[in-house]
Amino acid sequence: MLATVALEYKQTEFELEQDEELTFDLFKTWQNILHLRTQYGYEDGHSFHLGINLVAEGKIGRQFDQQTPIQAYSIRQKGIHSIQLGWLKNFIVENPDRLSSLSFEIVGNPQAASDKNAALGGADLIARYLFTFLNSWGEIFGDLKMEYRGDKRIRRGDGEEMKIRHLSSIGPSAGYKYRYESFYAFGLLGFQLNTGYQATSPSYNRTTDHGFATQVKLGVGYQRPKWMLELDAIVVTELYNKDAADFANLDNVEFEFETPYNFNLTYSWLF
């Protein structure tokens, strides 16, 4: 059985940028999340895992550029971020230096949004094919990930409830992990294509027809036979193709979600 405790700090910006300066519709989320997860191998090559993610301290708010006369607001977010349940199958192959596995995961948030808590809602489904090629220096690793993100409802600090329509995404990632005795360092690049993002609230309606995301992940770790400690940082940028009808008179507008800061400290041990 494998247990994992992880601390995550995440900041995400949802924004429309014009000429990379003037910002519209900006809201940000700041979250400190505690992840607790256990993985149990019940048969050779098979395992399932159960996790709960708690927002220790979170906030959804809106800042504004000095050029933009937008009212600032914020609302706290606390409690259960999500619960995840998954299953993983390792494929047995003839070459022990080539590992591959298939995993399915469902992630849901049972907490409803309220005036005092901007909980995210909805359920996500994630399917991944993971691969690892080992060599004497380290390993090439990555995955092909398909994700369905269910409908979300976010209560904003200005009293409005924003609904985000479900969407799906698919894409690969690949990276290299360098090992030196018990230490390792790794870098990972990811790309995915998304179906359209649509968000509605009483004051605005944002529609797109498709998008894409890029991800860069860097990390270092220390691994022993029974435990490991890892620190990583992730930067994600999601860009969507704005609907021409919606933004007919706004040239050079970028519809962008950015996660500039996402740090994770993870400790796992076998027992």
Partner 1 sequence: MALLKLTLLCLALLLSSQSEAGALATIGSDLASPVTTPARYILVGGVVATSLAYATRTHRTYRKRETFGDAKPLGDLGFIGDYIGYGALNLGYMGLAYWYGEYYDDADSRLNAELMMRATSYTFTLTMIGKNLISERRPGYPDDDQSFPSGHASASFAFASVVTARHGWGWGSLAHAMAGFITVSRVNDDFHYLHDILAGITIGASYGWGVHYNAQKGRNLWFSLLPVERGGLGFALGTQF
Give the residues lining the site for partner 1 (CB under 8 A): 125, 127, 129, 133, 146, 148, 165-168, 170, 172, 193-196, 198, 207-212, 239-241, 243-245, 252
- Which two tokens mark 180? 């030196």
- Looking at the Cβ atoms of 28 and 89, the one nearer to partner 1 is 89
Shortest CB 137 distance to partner 1, Å: 17
- Looking at the Cβ atoms of 67 and 95, the one nearer to partner 1 is 95
- Which two tokens mark 116? 């005092």
Shortest CB 122 distance to partner 1, Å: 12
Shortest CB 102 distance to partner 1, Å: 8
Provide the b/e sequence for 118-140 (b: ≥16 CB within 10 Å): bbbbbbbebebebbeebeeebbe
- Looking at the Cβ atoms of 149 and 217, the one nearer to partner 1 is 149
Shortest CB 115 distance to partner 1, Å: 30
Question: What distance in Å separates the CA atoms of residue 228 and residue 182, rounded to the nearest whole number?
Answer: 9
- Looking at the Cβ atoms of 212 and 261, the one nearer to partner 1 is 212
Shortest CB 243 distance to partner 1, Å: 6
- Looking at the Cβ atoms of 9 and 133, the one nearer to partner 1 is 133
- Which two tokens mark 206? 């944002």
Residue 117's nearest CA partner among 78, 161, 88, 148 is 78
Shortest CB 78 distance to partner 1, Å: 30
Shortest CB 165 distance to partner 1, Å: 7
- Looking at the Cβ atoms of 11 and 259, the one nearer to partner 1 is 259
Residue 196's nearest CA partner among 255, 144, 137, 138 is 255
* Cα Rg of the chain (Å, integer): 20
Shortest CB 195 distance to partner 1, Å: 5
Question: What distance in Å separates the CA atoms of residue 60 and residue 11, rounded to the nearest whole number?
Answer: 10
The answer to whether the CB of 91 falls within 8 A of the CB of 60 is: no
- Looking at the Cβ atoms of 7 and 123, the one nearer to partner 1 is 123
CB atoms within 10 A of CB 46: 13
Beta-sheet strands, E only, within the chain? 2-18, 22-43, 46-62, 73-91, 98-108, 123-134, 138-149, 152-155, 161-164, 167-180, 183-195, 198-201, 204-223, 227-242, 253-270
CB atoms within 10 A of CB 208: 20
- Looking at the Cβ atoms of 15 and 243, the one nearer to partner 1 is 243
